[in-house]
Amino acid sequence: MILCHSHRFIVFCNPGTGTGPVLRLLAPWADEPLTEYRDLSPERPFHHLMTPAQMAAVFAARGWPFDDYCRITLVMNPFTRLQGLYRRVADTDPLWRQMRAAGLGQPAFGPWLRSTRPDGPGAGGRPWELWRRFGSWTAAAWGDGHVTDWIRAETMAQDLPPLFSALGIDPGPVPPPVPDPGQAWATIYDGPTAQLVVRRYAGDLARFSYHHPVLDWVA
């Protein structure tokens, strides 16, 4: 997350949308230090994966004009994002690692996806694993009416520079996003899982004009 008071903007780190390069690019404009989620205190209330609603509450408590700030977050095609989240869970979840070590494999993508939620507990995990909880949230659940500028990760190299110019900053070229997995999606999605994504994330798919051949399976 980047909170810049001098130019009045906030970049929220929507987990799993490729925000890391943008945060590194804008690091010189960060006016507020961040702390670990487990070390939060009234004096240090800002942490990396704060939701926009949490930030709004801190601003209100401090009497700061939240509505005067440009509030930016990235979004990503939910098909891409959920596939990446599953792989990150597989790499980090202690129980899944133990299962693989014992030769039992790990939960398949379909059952795992059905166990997640597009809001609330999200994809579970321990309390401090905010990337996992928020990683399966819809844009509506994440933004909660507190975001002014939604940037598609897939086109951020084109969409961010005009926004930076309007803010009066020049951080340099925006790094290109991770390439779209393309047909590799067919190795993990089948009809039922694609249908589930379409149902849960219909708002994201429509609002940000996300399309992919995988949608042909659920026509």
* pTM for the predicted model, two decimal places: 0.91
Q: Domain range holding 51?
A: 2-76+139-167
Please list, in sequence order, all residues whose beta carbon lies within 8 angstroms of the beta carbon of residue 210, skipping any fewer than 6 positions away. 77, 78, 79, 204
Residue 32, in any domain of the structure: yes
| Residue 178 reports pLDDT greater than 70 | no
pLDDT per residue as tens digits for the range 108-156: 999 999 999 999 999 999 999 999 999 999 999 999 899 999 999 999 9
Residue 162, in any domain of the structure: yes
pLDDT per residue as tens digits for the range 35-89: 888 888 888 899 989 999 999 999 999 999 999 999 999 999 999 999 999 999 9
Residue 13, in any domain of the structure: yes
Please list, in sequence order, all residues whose beta carbon lies within 8 angstroms of the beta carbon of residue 154, skipping any fewer than 6 positions away. 76, 77, 177, 180
Residue 54, in any domain of the structure: yes
CA 198/CA 187 separation, integer angstroms: 18
Report pLDDT for 9: 98
Give the sign of the dihedral formed by CA 92, CA 98, CA 100, CA 105: negative
Residue 172, in any domain of the structure: no
What backbone torsions phi and psi does residue 18 show, to the nearest 5 degrees?
75, 35
Residue 200, in any domain of the structure: no
Higher pLDDT, 160 or 215: 160
| Residue 185 reports pLDDT greater than 80 | no
Q: How many domains does the chain have?
A: 1
CA 135/CA 120 separation, integer angstroms: 11
Report pLDDT for 184: 63
Report pLDDT for 144: 86
Residue 31, in any domain of the structure: yes
pLDDT per residue as tens digits for the range 5-30: 999 999 999 999 999 999 999 999 99
| Residue 212 reports pLDDT greater than 80 | no
| Residue 197 reports pLDDT greater than 60 | yes
| Residue 166 reports pLDDT greater than 90 | yes
Residue 112, in any domain of the structure: no
